[in-house]
Structure 1
Amino acid sequence: MFVVEEAKLSDIERLIDLLTILFSQEAEFVPNRTLQQTGLQMILNDASIGTIFVLKSDQKIIGMVTLLWTISTALGGKVAFLEDMVVDPLWRGKGGGHALIEHAILYAEKLTCKRITLLTDTDNFKAHHFYQQFGFEASLMQPMRLLLTEK
């Protein structure tokens, strides 16, 4: 049986462990405990930035997903970015990921979000299929990034 609940500051070490798993398998990111801790603290300390949900089994955190908030002028309202979706590899394929995504979608709907956007690696067809089960579709928009560095 899985339980999904909002993350707390006391969950940070386990969340960093999960992000290390996620960023080790993604093409563009590299795990960095210090940076991940800083980012997680920013979200957990300010609900206007977003909400982190944890997936638990027997009180142990085995997964997480983050929703970050912004406003879409095209849609005239609040929208969410779904980030950092990860389930511990030992628990994959058992329905926990579905529980996390379903919870996140319902939460965003409750907050009257008009859209949820997410990014996956272009060659991660397993992730594409997973998200398509919930109604996510490929976008005609091309993501582009400018990394800003400290000078």
Structure 2
Amino acid sequence: MVDVIPSVIVRRGRVEELDRLEEVYREAYRGLEEYADTTTFRIRNYLNWLYSGEPEGFFVAEVAGQVVGFVSIHAQWWDKRLGETGEIHEICVHPRWKGKGVGRRLIETAIAYARRRGRRYVSLWVGERNWHARRWYRSLGFEECGVQFGEWVRMIKPIEEAHDQ
């Protein structure tokens, strides 16, 4: 059973929070360093790239005032098979908060963001040996589309249109 934390707040991230997100990133990639930047310099450059590429697509999850995860999506990414797509470049949740619904809330927020910008798909790359993440993405409706780039596997998810209530 998933222990869902009802007090998770997902909001737009702020540039002044990027340094604090370094710890979330490091902890989320513990044991998966083959897929991660590992030096402070590279991590901070990467976080800055994620944020500056589309600040309005950078969201953080907060519990009791503490940032416990983040997601970065660029809604005008070009994929030669899909056209414009919402590209999820990164999602990280601190291990203490995994399995509590934080990641799901972040993904749902990213998908809603892409939908509002008229995208029909969200897409991402996941490490080929990151079996846990691959299963999790499949449980959220992502499918592996048969494209691989080095150790990265491509996954896509059609976005359902929002229906008026």
Q: TM-score, normalised by structure 1?
A: 0.81
Q: Is the 8 A contact 1:64 1:100 kept in 2?
A: yes
Residue identity (%)? 22
The 5 A counterparts of 1:60-71 are 60-68=66-74, 69-71=76-78
115, 122, 134: which is aligned to 2:140? 134
Query: Where do 4+ consecutive residues of structure 1 move more than 6 Å?
Result: none
Match of 2:36 in 1: 29
Which amino acid counterpart does residue 138 of structure 1 have in structure 2? Answer: E
Q: SS at 1:82's partner residue?
A: strand
- Rounded to whole Å, the distance in 1 between the matches of 2:134 and 2:81 is 25
32-41 or 4-13: bigger deviation? 32-41
Q: Is the 8 A contact 2:28 2:94 kept in 1?
A: no
Displacement of 1:121 in angstroms is 2.2
84, 87, 101: which is aligned to 2:90? 84
RMSD after superposition: 2.2
Displacement of 1:117 in angstroms is 1.7
Q: Is the 8 A contact 1:23 1:30 kept in 2?
A: no
Distance 1:112 1:36, change over 3 A: same
Greater share of residues in strand: 2
Match of 1:149 in 2: none
Distance 1:36 1:136, change over 3 A: same
Unaligned 5+ runs, structure 1? 146-151
Match of 1:55 in 2: 61
- CA displacement, residues 54-112 of structure 1 (integer Å, 9 cap, x when unaligned): 01011210011111341235434x21221221111111111111111111111111111
Unaligned 5+ runs, structure 2? 1-6, 152-165
- Rounded to whole Å, the distance in 1 between the matches of 2:29 and 2:107 is 19
The aligned length equals: 143
Match of 2:154 in 1: none
- CA displacement, residues 102-132 of structure 1 (integer Å, 9 cap, x when unaligned): 1111111111123222222223222122111
